Structure 1
Amino acid sequence: MTISSFIFWALVTVLVCNYSYGKNGSAEESVLSSVYNYVTGKVRNMADYFVGLFSWILYTCLGIMLWLGICGCIIEYRWTILGILLFCLLYYHVVQEMEKRDLKGGENKEINNHYSYIIVGAGSAGCVLANRLSEDLGSSVLIVEAGGSENEHEMMHVPFMSGVLQGTKHDWDFRTAPQKFTCQDKKDKKCTWPRGRVLGGTSSIDYLQYIRGSRHDYDNWAREGADGWSYKDVLPYFIKSEDMQISSLRFSPYHGMGGPLSVSDGTATNLSDNVYRKGMEEIGYRVVDCNGMTQIGYCFGQETVKNGERWSTAKAFLRPAMNRPNLNVVTNAYVTKILIEHRKAVGITLVKNYETYHIKAEKEVIISAGSINAPKILMLSGIGPKEHLESLGVHQISSNNPHSSFLVLCTLLHPKSRGRIQLHSSDPFDPPRIDPNYLDHPYDMKMLLKGIKQLLKLANTTAFRSIGASPFDPYDENYFLYCKHFPYESDDYWRCRVALNFISMYHTTSTCRMGAADDKTAVVDPQLRVKGVSNLRVVDASVMRHVTSGNTNAPTIMIAEKAADMIRGIDSVKSIRERLQNYRKLLREMNKD
């Protein structure tokens, strides 16, 4: 082999290895692109640049040693041994470095003492806000998450493994106060309330359903004083986020393509079409797109899944933004209080690794801790009912009267029972006192019984009976001892059953509800600003006027998208809104014909 030939193939190897590192590495692709990435801000700081450059050099040496090892087979035996040994050592180092960087991403950089925006909670809303607010490189953004990375549990990426994740360290694992009418078979009559304590929040442990809710939900919000939150106002933000993967819906005016959030077909069995659809048609329901014109009918599932993996807001929104120089993602950090001076939010206090930090916000503090922890943090900071706070030794700064509504079972979309979130103590590490007050209002049980009768009717259709289904209760024997004194299928029997094995869908909302300035039940105004305290907003499911007609993950993402525009003072959905207006105009003209 000639020297020139050796040099030629060595250079080819260098280029191949450089390309390979760029395809598999986290930020840097080559020497030139490493410099470019640092200058343009894609690499966070000079230290990251040198780490990337060093890893690239090692990766290149790996390729050269591999080539020398191959040449050694031709030139001399000892070269082969040397090449193989160096190859193995360098390969191990580079792979370990790449895996470490891919797992960590942009998490846990050094915490500065001030930022433009501070976001508390990296859940369904917080991840969206972190992405959108950090698009402005002139603003620095800190997002704080009490849990860890979504990459720490391999089952978190597998759809419908939520049951495995509940009760782990990635779940807040809340317990309610003892209930009068439900959870009677549970220990101390306390219901479990799983909530995500991880990047992505509950979107990392939920059942993936993408349901926006009814147009009437949002129009009702607007009628009750939440100006700017009607269906026509919020629809463009749903479309903006979405990357529709269902072929029959990709060009629907109600859906979007190219957004960060992948929405895929949730159909997992041919029973969905051969049995479920036909059964629903037998009792008078047609097939609809439940995120389209109407929700009344049978809808094939739509889920936040991409390429067979869970597509949480951490994956869709936060991970793509993590390498921005103006975004710091701090995990395993517990926010204990909002710092308020002269009725103005100026920062937060957080605890990480047993060390306390006081961090200032130059523009705003944004609470996206969810419908349970958001009111808890507000109350710990002196924002809440005076009598309750003073009984725990918390000085009140601003008064509000938070309420909450709850989605109970798949057949009860709009319950009238109201619960309450309160503090157990002034200790920020104590869980809040949660009393959902399930089925306190007689209307709720009445509607559940109506829904159960519809399900029994569905089970008795030809389509369902064709596969051996029947309206008889397969779990009757399990509850025979408890409910045997009631005639089967009577209202009293089903009341007994509901009281024993009641299941919540955990779609808690409205604990920091929005409303007009004179609305005494509202915690935030329609711009999601906390009443009585400046520079403080709440952006998550807790601000909903009422629970929406379905799963709450999609509406929470929409709320964060809209809030990001309000905070930045921009209109990112102008083109989508104009397209929808043209579509409505076309429909009106078609109806005239």
Structure 2
Amino acid sequence: MSFMLGQPEAAMCAAGGSVSGAVTAALQFFALAQCLVQEPWPKAAHPTNDTTFDYIVVGAGTAGSVLSSRLADLDGVSVLLIEAGGDPPQESIIPGYHDVLKGTKYDWNFTTVNDKVSSQALKGGSQKQPRGKMLGGSGSLSDMVYSRGHPEDYDDWAAVAGEQWNWKNVLEYFKKTEHMTDEQIVNNPELMAYHGIDGEIEVTGTNRSTFATQIFLDAFAELGFEKVKDMTNPQKMGTGRFSHTIRKGQRDSAATALLNKAGYSTKLSILKDSLVTKVIIDDKNKAVGVEVVTDNEKKIFKADKEVILSAGTFNTAKLLLLSGIGPKKHLEEMGIPVIKDLPVGHNFHDHVMVVAFLASEKGTCTEEQKDTYMHTIEYLHSRTGPLADTDSMGAYIALERESHPTVPDFAMYPTCVPVNAGFYKGCQVSLGYEDRICRELDILNQNYELIPVAVVLLKPKSRGKVTLSSKNPFDAPLIYAGTFSDEEDLAGFPKALSLAYSLANATYFRGKRAFAVDLKLEACEELRGAEGLKCHARQLATPAWHAVGTSALGAVLDGALRVRGVRGLRVADAGVMPAVVRGNTNAAVVMVAERAADFIQRELRAAPGYEYYDVE
């Protein structure tokens, strides 16, 4: 999911150490390292005010990178891609450093509004929602886990947005971008039936496993989980290692695999460090361009055919609202003329993550922080070693196993924090817990290894919303998480958390005298059993950083991702998901972008002269 620190970087992230410091130290030994760790990011364009393009894509994240690259392949088409951030730093392409950009200038650093009910053990009662602000977007700071969700997820989409979104139909679009090389999968014809080999983004894995990962796999197997070779296999569910989007020791994202190649096309212009402040919609309800602030100047760029928003769950919703598309009452309260009354910002939700902590005698996570520097040198020298890949694993749980044996309700993701890793800073930065909890965990970590087990609800029923905080486009939106607003979401946590704590009873961890850590939450001190665990879940809830739903198919959008009632305006990002998939969302966002590109191409072929038909 998202809380997965591998052994090489766990100590550094826990201590709040700077990856740049590690890289700088290594550069003293390797003067040529700057040439070894770099990406050929496309050059920035500088279009003049009032320039017209066929298509304008807002946001160069995962979806925007895929979509603009596909559009640039079309004959006679010009594309402008606008990104609020710039090029990613060197650290972004090193797999072992996948967590360190959160909380930096490369992150939008969104947080939720304190609802005074859930997440009260977090500092200020506010949840962190990191999002990438650079080429590649969140795909440049994610964990690179390749996960698609499950067939039922897409059949649910199809129920509200049409059969083009069912599992059978979306599978070919997953395959289109995928270049599967995972050693556990490629030689198995049964598994390869679900995977592609000719796509641009490499999906890799290895039979080599770290000591800690193998311990976790064996412990889950001892608890009754079947070991599976492919965690995306819709026919089997259990425990296993994830595939990752890594190529030759570096992150392989939509930006590195597609945008970096398309960026050299004369048909694609990329405007960096520029914020789109409004979609321009004419008196016939057609999107005809965008207003942009770039180099401290306001400019207008026109779209002859279409504007596509790929700015992400939060920023796309904000931009639609600023442009007069959203709930009428909210827009009127903000003093924004209403162009189209649609439930923009509603249906916001995310996976719910609650971390169960175990403590154990040392020996499971053997990496020392000082070794990080040597691993950096090894990586810079040959792109090998622990920093060149990541070996995360997980386990899926079906609470109703008899009736739905392959449809998970929860997932668990264990990690290993070495003794005396300085957990306090990482606890604050990554999890956002209140100071007392982080301090007590840090004290415990001085003598014990910590085993955080992220327990994640995969299909929440609760919904929140995203609204404007003001009409100023530079102000962050207000994010209301709505966590556990539907009490049914709490029902499965006692069983799932108990299962996570039972890892301490596995043979290996009994030998390490492992025990469950009681965080002594004041709000829960009078409660025991299932009610106590529910209370812990409510207090400790964080998102898993898979926010979706604010411009949902079937509500804000039609089945072709077009904004209802506004011609020439489409959305392609995680916000289009009417319900979050049961897994990491990055691969699903790539699929959505591929679908958007296909819809556009089909419409171009079907309508010479590009007469857009009514989408009301």
TM-score, reference length from structure 2? 0.71
Deviation at 1:129, TM superposition (A): 0.4
Q: Is the alpha carbon distance of 1:325 and 1:469 closer, same or farther for their aligned partners in structure 2, counting shifts above 3 Å? A: farther
Deviation at 1:275, TM superposition (A): 4.3
Greater fraction helix: 1
User: Match for residue 234 of structure 1?
Assistant: 170
1:129 aligns with 2:162: no
Q: Is the alpha carbon distance of 1:175 and 1:102 closer, same or farther for their aligned partners in structure 2, counting shifts above 3 Å? A: closer
1:558 aligns with 2:576: no
User: Match for residue 190 of structure 1?
Assistant: 126
The DSSP-based 3-state class of the residue aligned with 1:509 is coil
Q: Is the alpha carbon distance of 1:459 and 1:98 closer, same or farther for their aligned partners in structure 2, counting shifts above 3 Å? A: closer
1:259 aligns with 2:208: no
User: Match for residue 535 of structure 1?
Assistant: 568
Q: Is the alpha carbon distance of 1:415 and 1:359 closer, same or farther for their aligned partners in structure 2, counting shifts above 3 Å? A: same
Aligned pair partner of 1:108 in 45, 49, 74: 45
- Higher RCO, 1 or 2 (CA under 8 Å, sep at least 6)? 2
The DSSP-based 3-state class of the residue aligned with 1:405 is coil
User: Match for residue 532 of structure 2?
Assistant: 493
Distance (Å, rounded) in 2 between the aligned partners of 1:448 and 1:364: 45
User: Match for residue 448 of structure 2?
Assistant: none
1:393 aligns with 2:335: yes
Q: How does 1:507-518 map to 2 (within 5 A)?
A: 507-515=546-554
User: Match for residue 82 of structure 2?
Assistant: 144
User: Match for residue 155 of structure 1?
Assistant: 91
Dislocated runs of 4+, deviation >6 Å? none
In structure 2, stretches of 5+ residues that fail to align are 1-30, 354-454, 606-616
Distance (Å, rounded) in 2 between the aligned partners of 1:484 and 1:548: 31
Distance (Å, rounded) in 2 between the aligned partners of 1:440 and 1:308: 42
**Letter matched to residue 407 of structure 1:** H
The DSSP-based 3-state class of the residue aligned with 1:143 is strand
Using the aligned pairs only, state the percent identity. 36
Query: Deviation digits for residues 469-508 of structure 1, max 9, x if unmatched?
Result: 64x323x2xx2363673466x2233234334432321111
Deviation at 1:110, TM superposition (A): 3.2
Aligned pair partner of 1:177 in 108, 113, 119: 113
Distance (Å, rounded) in 2 between the aligned partners of 1:120 and 1:332: 12
User: Match for residue 473 of structure 1?
Assistant: 516
Deviation at 1:463, TM superposition (A): 5.2
1:526 aligns with 2:566: no
Q: Is the alpha carbon distance of 1:480 and 1:405 closer, same or farther for their aligned partners in structure 2, counting shifts above 3 Å? A: closer
Distance (Å, rounded) in 2 between the aligned partners of 1:194 and 1:165: 9
User: Match for residue 459 of structure 2?
Assistant: 414
Query: Deviation digits for residues 518-551 of structure 1, max 9, x if unmatched?
Result: xxxx000010000010010000111112000000
Contact in 2 for aligned 1:173/1:195 (Cα 8 Å): yes
Q: How many residues align?
A: 465
1:426 aligns with 2:471: yes
Query: Deviation digits for residues 199-235 of structure 1, max 9, x if unmatched?
Result: 0000101111110000111112112343300111000
The DSSP-based 3-state class of the residue aligned with 1:350 is strand
Contact in 2 for aligned 1:226/1:514 (Cα 8 Å): no
Deviation at 1:188, TM superposition (A): 2.6
In structure 1, stretches of 5+ residues that fail to align are 1-91, 516-521, 573-593
Distance (Å, rounded) in 2 between the aligned partners of 1:121 and 1:458: 42
Distance (Å, rounded) in 2 between the aligned partners of 1:298 and 1:433: 37
The DSSP-based 3-state class of the residue aligned with 2:240 is coil
Distance (Å, rounded) in 2 between the aligned partners of 1:141 and 1:351: 18
1:301 aligns with 2:341: no
Aligned pair partner of 2:348 in 404, 425, 428: 404
Q: Is the alpha carbon distance of 1:399 and 1:227 closer, same or farther for their aligned partners in structure 2, counting shifts above 3 Å? A: farther
The farther-off stretch of 130-139 and 491-500 is: 491-500
The DSSP-based 3-state class of the residue aligned with 1:480 is coil
Contact in 1 for aligned 2:178/2:196 (Cα 8 Å): yes
Q: Is the alpha carbon distance of 1:209 and 1:225 closer, same or farther for their aligned partners in structure 2, counting shifts above 3 Å? A: same
Query: Deviation digits for residues 48-73 of structure 1, max 9, x if unmatched?
Result: xxxxxxxxxxxxxxxxxxxxxxxxxx
1:358 aligns with 2:300: yes
User: Match for residue 22 of structure 1?
Assistant: none
Deviation at 1:430, TM superposition (A): 1.0
Distance (Å, rounded) in 2 between the aligned partners of 1:491 and 1:98: 55
Query: Deviation digits for residues 377-428 of structure 1, max 9, x if unmatched?
Result: 1111000111100111100001111322221124300111100000111111
Q: Is the alpha carbon distance of 1:263 and 1:464 closer, same or farther for their aligned partners in structure 2, counting shifts above 3 Å? A: farther
User: Match for residue 336 of structure 1?
Assistant: 277
Distance (Å, rounded) in 2 between the aligned partners of 1:392 and 1:110: 32
Contact in 2 for aligned 1:288/1:296 (Cα 8 Å): no
Distance (Å, rounded) in 2 between the aligned partners of 1:157 and 1:102: 8
1:504 aligns with 2:440: no
Distance (Å, rounded) in 2 between the aligned partners of 1:296 and 1:571: 41
**Letter matched to residue 450 of structure 1:** K
Contact in 2 for aligned 1:250/1:257 (Cα 8 Å): no
**Letter matched to residue 130 of structure 1:** S
Distance (Å, rounded) in 1 between the aligned partners of 2:58 and 2:521: 48
Q: Is the alpha carbon distance of 1:102 and 1:165 closer, same or farther for their aligned partners in structure 2, counting shifts above 3 Å? A: closer
User: Match for residue 442 of structure 2?
Assistant: none
The farther-off stretch of 284-293 and 559-568 is: 284-293
Distance (Å, rounded) in 2 between the aligned partners of 1:104 and 1:503: 34
Contact in 2 for aligned 1:114/1:361 (Cα 8 Å): yes
Q: How does 1:543-554 map to 2 (within 5 A)?
A: 543-554=576-587
Deviation at 1:262, TM superposition (A): 1.2
TM-score, reference length from structure 1? 0.74
Deviation at 1:571, TM superposition (A): 12
Q: Is the alpha carbon distance of 1:481 and 1:536 closer, same or farther for their aligned partners in structure 2, counting shifts above 3 Å? A: closer
Deviation at 1:303, TM superposition (A): 1.1
The DSSP-based 3-state class of the residue aligned with 1:259 is coil
**Letter matched to residue 525 of structure 2:** H
Contact in 2 for aligned 1:146/1:331 (Cα 8 Å): yes
Q: Is the alpha carbon distance of 1:481 and 1:338 closer, same or farther for their aligned partners in structure 2, counting shifts above 3 Å? A: closer
Looking at CA atoms only, which structure, 1 or 2, has the larger radius of gyration? 1
Q: Is the alpha carbon distance of 1:394 and 1:270 closer, same or farther for their aligned partners in structure 2, counting shifts above 3 Å? A: same
Distance (Å, rounded) in 1 between the aligned partners of 2:54 and 2:325: 23
Contact in 1 for aligned 2:60/2:134 (Cα 8 Å): yes
1:216 aligns with 2:158: no
Contact in 2 for aligned 1:275/1:464 (Cα 8 Å): no
**Letter matched to residue 106 of structure 1:** K
User: Match for residue 48 of structure 1?
Assistant: none
